Structure 1
Amino acid sequence: MSINDHLSIPHFHITAIPEQLEKLNKNIYLELWIPAVLRLDQDEYQIKLAYRGSHTRKFPKKSFQVKFISPTDYKGEREFHLNAEYADPSLIRNKLSFDFFNRIGTLSPQSYHVLLSINEQFAGIYLKLESVDNRFLQTRELPDGPIYYAINSNANFSLLNPKTSEVKDSLEEGYMRKCGTAADDADLRTFIYKINTTPVAQFEAAIEKLLDVDSYLRWLAGAVCTQNFDGFIHNYALYRNRETERFTIIPWDYDATWGRNVNGRLLKHTYLPIEGFNSLTARILDVSSFRLSYCSLLHAIFREHFTEIALEPEIISLQQLLHPFIHLDPNKRDGEGIFLSERGFILSFIEKRRTFLMESIELFQAHKK
């Protein structure tokens, strides 16, 4: 059975000079862009291609960034990401997570699966991921504002480096400005400084001026339900709405979720506590009104969204979509059995995680009284 026997998933074709591809492979951690051609819907686009990610670059199946040169966009997109999902035997955790965040009212990237060929060689099943940039805001009719990517563990909302416990050289350490200007960095520094220095009695009023607290609590609930351990100190984006002058957090890279870690290994359903972790979360949950809102939000999510009944249809649909191509993916040819078993694994995780969190709410509330 060939790839062309199925038309249910878009097929992206990338062509690049072999010597240019070799440059990427000589030093996988070098931030190098090479020229290439992308064929989509019978149209050709001149693009720039680079590897993306940090931990994932060591895997045999690499993830990519794509930037359009000519034409300058594809359906309004100037760039997007192609995630290999190599460590996820289900290939669906990232998408399942982002769709879950959307359902609970959190801004999150749109995504869909594609087939990718490079120089006519099938590279496998990939997840096309929307870039969090100006277009991300425009398609959601949101006001302009700077966007920062949290690229390493220094993006922990603290004044201290988490590895050395020493004061950071600059408060924007751990962030890469995706949109905006250098002048916007002052607002990010003010935000982090006030998180850590505002007195307890003044914190509730102060943080509501700086942060969309409701959106943060929804993000927190999503990260806790999916058990994304990494997402509390990096793998998120910050957007500052120029009209409200408040920050909003946006999830990013959620393949290490639903019971598996960044290497695809099992992660016990009790691994991440209900309160998550980082300096901002700790301070927010120390405010009784915010804590009450968080618990109420969790109860609503447990009733409507974080259940086997709610999530199983999407899991089945995604598995059915990808199953015909698993044996064609050079990195998944021997993984059909575990791919199929992941449905039961994820559903079992949801049941156990939901029970654990529901029991944790009562203890969490009692402890804080």
Structure 2
Amino acid sequence: MSHVSSICLRNSAFSLLVSVFILMLTACGDLRESKVDGYGLPVVQIEMNSETLGLLLGQVTSKRPVAAEVKMQGDVKMKCEVSFAGQSSLNDYRKSLNLRACKNHPSEQTRFRLAAQNRDKTTNRAILAYEMFARTGMTVPTTELVSAYVNHDFLGVYLLTEPISSEYFHRRGIRVADIYQSKFGNAGFRKEFSSNLSEAFDYEGDGKDNYAALQGVYKTLWDNLSDEEFERRIEMQIDVDNFMSYMATAVYTAHWDGFDNNYFMALDKTKRKLIVAPWDLDRVWEKAFEFNPADFLSRNQLLFRMMTISSFRKVFASKLDLLLENFPVEVQLSNLEMKKAHSQSALAMDKVNGPDLEASFDGFEEQIKVWNEKIRTFRNTIAE
């Protein structure tokens, strides 16, 4: 056994992806020219030589990129910087990948995420949920399931999605000044983070970190204002329709870790208000048996306070009604069945998710049914 393989075996945090890379380093040698099989899904194929693969393997925690050629959507060939992605997924059996600084995509998109979706054995939860967020009028990332390869080694079924960034908003005609990414489960607008917002949100913008827009919201929330003054200020600081679209859909999909984590906020230059974008939906419906919808309201203190205001509560209720009308349980189950049929052949070839595929989909169906009943009961408790 080679020295590299020995190190890999001793490191329990290495993923299936890394294991595949190691096999390629020790056995595959140069790139091959034979075609790869998508098993009914589009193919994303990352190509690099053995030396570059070795460099990538040494950057699991640092996430430093290496240069590679990426093929997708048939004839599309791009030069990209490839790196490991995510936080908790770095310790998972299979890791996610960032593709950045990509050149030559027809849409001029330069950033992509190959998300391993390790918490979702069906790999379809995020796609179902994004459709619901979009129906309420929100912008959502483009997403599709793909068969992912490094050279000619099949990694499995991944979610190819579009990272939330300045490019994401620009491609949708939205001018943003500052982007805030929730982190560490600290982005629930709790008072203890009012003076240390960098512990709750990462910042992307021009130059020095600028948390002014968020600081204004925290001040409004925790200044003990009257209901009237709180309502007036929040309407000036936040796109209420957008915010309640996000929160109502997060409740509707049991996105339990999306109230203090797994979302972005950005300052819309045109509206001069903060807007929300959903992200990282692989755990929606996961805890349908453990939680009730009302449990989620207090996970975000801004939402909790806004729900005490009649006008805001009506917006939330209208979004919930929209989802109940357009995505009743039978529609959700039908959509899931179609997505299962579309991805089943590829998932069956997936070494991680294939063995328990039927049980995974059956469990997901039960979660949808149980949560829908809880949502209907919850809707009757919302006073308008």
Same fold (TM over 0.5): yes
**TM-score normalised by structure 1 residue count:** 0.85
1:66 paired residue number: 99
Structure 1 pair 277–333 and aligned structure 2 pair: CA distance change class (3 A): closer
Q: Distance in 1 between matches of 2:317 and 2:279?
A: 24
Q: Distance in 2 between matches of 1:257 and 1:301?
A: 15
Alignment of 1:1-369 (within 5 A): 8-26=40-58, 28-40=60-72, 41-71=74-104, 73=105, 75-161=107-193, 168=195, 170-182=196-208, 184-197=210-223, 199-201=225-227, 202-260=229-287, 267-268=289-290, 270=292, 273=295, 275=297, 277-305=299-327, 307-339=328-360, 342=361, 344-365=362-383
User: Helix, strand or coil: the match of 2:299?
Assistant: coil
Q: Distance in 2 between matches of 1:81 and 1:313?
A: 27
Runs in 1 of length 4+ with deviation above 6 angstroms?
Answer: none
| 1:78 CA drift (Å) | 1.1
What is the count of residue pairs matched by the alignment?
A: 349
The code of the aligned residue for 1:141 comes to G
Q: Distance in 2 between matches of 1:293 and 1:336?
A: 38
The more displaced of 116-125 and 313-322 is 313-322
Identity of aligned residues (%): 20
1:263 paired residue number: none
Residue 159 of structure 1 contacts residue 193 of structure 1 at CA under 8 Å; is this kept in 2?
Answer: no
Residue 39 of structure 1 contacts residue 45 of structure 1 at CA under 8 Å; is this kept in 2?
Answer: yes
Residue 40 of structure 2 contacts residue 343 of structure 2 at CA under 8 Å; is this kept in 1?
Answer: no
Structure 1 pair 180–157 and aligned structure 2 pair: CA distance change class (3 A): farther
| 1:13 CA drift (Å) | 1.1
| 1:12 CA drift (Å) | 1.2
| 1:297 CA drift (Å) | 2.9
**TM-score normalised by structure 2 residue count:** 0.82
Coordinate RMSD, CA, aligned: 2.6
Unpaired segments of 5 or more residues in structure 2? 1-33
2:18 paired residue number: none
Structure 1 pair 43–254 and aligned structure 2 pair: CA distance change class (3 A): closer
| 1:70 CA drift (Å) | 4.2
Residue 47 of structure 2 contacts residue 69 of structure 2 at CA under 8 Å; is this kept in 1?
Answer: yes
Q: Distance in 1 between matches of 2:338 and 2:348?
A: 18
Structure 1 pair 200–21 and aligned structure 2 pair: CA distance change class (3 A): farther
User: Helix, strand or coil: the match of 2:61?
Assistant: coil
Residue 68 of structure 1 contacts residue 74 of structure 1 at CA under 8 Å; is this kept in 2?
Answer: no
Residue 348 of structure 2 contacts residue 354 of structure 2 at CA under 8 Å; is this kept in 1?
Answer: yes
User: Helix, strand or coil: the match of 2:138?
Assistant: coil
Structure 1 pair 65–198 and aligned structure 2 pair: CA distance change class (3 A): farther
Unpaired segments of 5 or more residues in structure 1? 162-166, 261-265
| 1:258 CA drift (Å) | 1.8
Q: Distance in 2 between matches of 1:205 and 1:289?
A: 11
The code of the aligned residue for 1:143 comes to R
1:313-361 alpha-carbon deviations (Å, 9 max, x no partner): 321221111111123222234223324xx1x433332332222122223
Residue 148 of structure 1 contacts residue 177 of structure 1 at CA under 8 Å; is this kept in 2?
Answer: yes
The code of the aligned residue for 2:238 comes to L
The code of the aligned residue for 2:310 comes to S
